[in-house]
Structure formats: C-alpha cells, structure tokens
Amino acid sequence: MAHTLSNARKVMNALRAGKLNYHVVEVMACPGGCIGGAGQPYHHGNIEILKARAAAVYREDEGKALRKSHENPDIQKLYKEFLGEPCGEKSHHLLHTHYFDKSIH
C-alpha cells in the first residue's frame, strides 16, 4: 500500500525495475489514506491534526471486540436470511456500485 502519489511513483518504479514482486498495489492518494482525504474536516495542511485523527481512529478500533465485518453476527444473519451467498446475484445487485458515463455529448 502506498500513501500519496509520490510514494506510489516510488513503488511503481521499484516494480518496473524488478525490485518488488507484488500481485496487487493499493494507492491511497490522500496523505495518510482516507483519514486525510477530502471527506474529512479540512486540516489546513497541519499534519499533526491528521496524525491525531488517525491515532484516535486506531485507538477506537483496537478497543472493539468485533473488528471484522464478515464475523459480525448481524451481517451473517443478513446474508443468511436475505442476501444469500456473498457475491451472489442478489447481494451483487444491491451492494455493488455500477459506474456509467454521465458526460453530456
């Protein structure tokens, strides 16, 4: 995983040079990932605010007894009683995003 496009460039260059061997590379363009992204309160370039926010989120997550969605009994019940098989026809139709061209020609 690479945070920021400059770090993504370093990873891609290392891949091209044969210095890394990965099947998947995830790039998070925002510094620190989504926690520093556009959907978050504006931080005016103050990296300490981003670090404090990230620390709070990780601290909150560590204290949770249930941390994986696929182990959540409510989610398991939802699939068993309504959605059926994960990635099945019904769950795919209801839960997956479908992209389409919205441009005006």
Residue 98: pLDDT band (50, 70, 90) is confident
| Tens digit of each residue's pLDDT (9 = 90 or more) over 2-28 | 777 888 899 999 999 999 888 888 777
pTM (predicted TM-score): 0.47
Residue-range domain boundaries for the chain: 2-43+52-62, 68-96
- Report d(CA 11, CA 77) in Å as an integer: 40
| Tens digit of each residue's pLDDT (9 = 90 or more) over 33-64 | 677 666 677 767 777 887 888 899 889 989 89
Chain center to CA of 100: 21
Q: Write down the H helix ranges in the chain.
A: 5-16, 47-62, 73-78, 89-95
